[in-house]
């Protein structure tokens, strides 16, 4: 494997790993937000102002 191929493989694998990490963090944050909303009794519907 020449240097260019090795560099390209490293870039592609790094990109895939970072993308997977992004989704893991995103799902964790979304689950955390749902937990907090559930624990405090808040829901998106209760944020609306009814006149």
Give the up-direction half-sphere exposure of residue 27: CA atoms within 13 A in the CB hemisphere.
5
- Report DSSP state, residue 41: T
Q: Residue 26: what pLDDT?
A: 96
CA distance 28 to 34: 10
pLDDT score at 1: 83
What are 4-40's pLDDT values in tens digits? Answer: 999 999 999 999 999 999 999 999 999 999 998 887 6
What's the Cα-to-Cα distance from 45 to each of 14, 37, 42, rounded to whole Å?
41, 11, 8
């Amino acid at each position: 494997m020449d240097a260019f191929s090795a560099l390209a493989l490293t870039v592609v694998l790094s990109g895939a790993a970072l993308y997977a990490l992004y989704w893991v963090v995103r799902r964790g944050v979304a689950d955390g937000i749902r937990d907090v909303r559930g624990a405090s009794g808040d829901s998106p519907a209760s944020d609306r102002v009814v006149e």
